[in-house]
Amino acid sequence: MHDVLKRRRTELGLSQAQLAAAAGVDARQIRRYESGEQQPLLSVAVAIAKALDISVSELAGAPTPELNLSGTWWASWQTYKDGEEVITAQEVSLRQDGDFIQVETTTRGIAVEDGGYHWKGELRLWDNEILMGWYAAAEASVRSKGTMYFVLHPHGQQMSGRWVGLSHDGKVITGLGAMAHSEDEVRSLVVTGKDAQ
């Protein structure tokens, strides 16, 4: 842990005093942690990891996957409302901790009256190639929930696949899905997937 702590603090250009202030601990404690004299309590480790913008497992020195997918992405979905196809796109935030990725929308994509809603979920990365997981509406008035399956681009630039879940119309259905770093790119992936069917 002490090597990771010192390396990450240096990468961010933080002094020990700055890191201590950000984590809410005394600067002497940061020196002790970096020298390996002491290990922080879990609550302190969480605060330090947050200040360093890494996960607690990364701070503890756990191996990280080859690809880091954390950041802002765009998600696009082929879905249906009242029997009509709708292709949505919305901005999402991915936060990776090892092989697990928390996903949460930051925009609705389309208006509420057209079926837009916020959702969150979790994906698991398998062999830096496949992502499988679940999603659920983050709004109590929306029943939508289901599963996601994506094939990841070898360099982690985009992912394409399918979702299966409860539709606005109340039936279990499936549709194409994709994630990429721009709205245009992600919409293109869904359209290309439709054309390939």
Give the separation between CA 160 and CA 148, rounded to whole angstroms.
10
pLDDT value for 118: 93
pLDDT value for 196: 74
End-to-end CA distance of the chain: 49
Give the separation between CA 60 and CA 2, rounded to whole angstroms.
8
Whether 182 has a pLDDT exceeding 90, the answer reads yes
Same domain, 30 and 79: no
Could you list the residue range(s) of the whole structural domain that residue 13 is in?
Answer: 2-59
| pLDDT-derived band at 82, boundaries 50, 70, 90 | confident
Q: What is the pLDDT of residues 147-159, one digit of tens each?
A: 999 999 988 899 9
CATH of the domain at 12: 1.10.260.40
CATH of the domain at 121: 2.40.128.120
pLDDT value for 34: 93
Token reading at 24: 């809410």
Whether 64 has a pLDDT exceeding 80, the answer reads no
pLDDT value for 37: 93
pLDDT value for 168: 64
Kindly state the average pLDDT of the residues 137-154.
90
What are 105's strand-pairing partners?
92
- pLDDT above 70 coverage of the chain, percent: 95
Give the separation between CA 97 and CA 54, rounded to whole angstroms.
8
Same domain, 92 and 113: yes
Kindly state the average pLDDT of the residues 94-112.
91
Same domain, 105 and 133: yes
Same domain, 97 and 192: yes
Could you tell me if residue 156 is inside a domain?
Answer: yes
Kindly state the average pLDDT of the residues 179-195.
91
Mean pLDDT, the chain, as a whole number? 90
| pLDDT-derived band at 79, boundaries 50, 70, 90 | confident
Say if CB 77 and CB 177 are below 8 A apart.
Answer: yes
Say if CB 177 and CB 165 are below 8 A apart.
Answer: no
Same domain, 169 and 191: yes
Could you tell me if residue 45 is inside a domain?
Answer: yes
Give the separation between CA 81 and CA 17, rounded to whole angstroms.
55
Same domain, 16 and 76: no
Whether 59 has a pLDDT exceeding 80, the answer reads yes
pLDDT value for 1: 86
Residue with tokens 């901790």: 97
Whether 63 has a pLDDT exceeding 70, the answer reads no
**CA neighbor of 116 nearest in space, from 142, 136, 134:** 142
Token reading at 99: 């092989």
| CA distances, 66 to each of 96, 103, 156 (Å) | 12, 19, 10
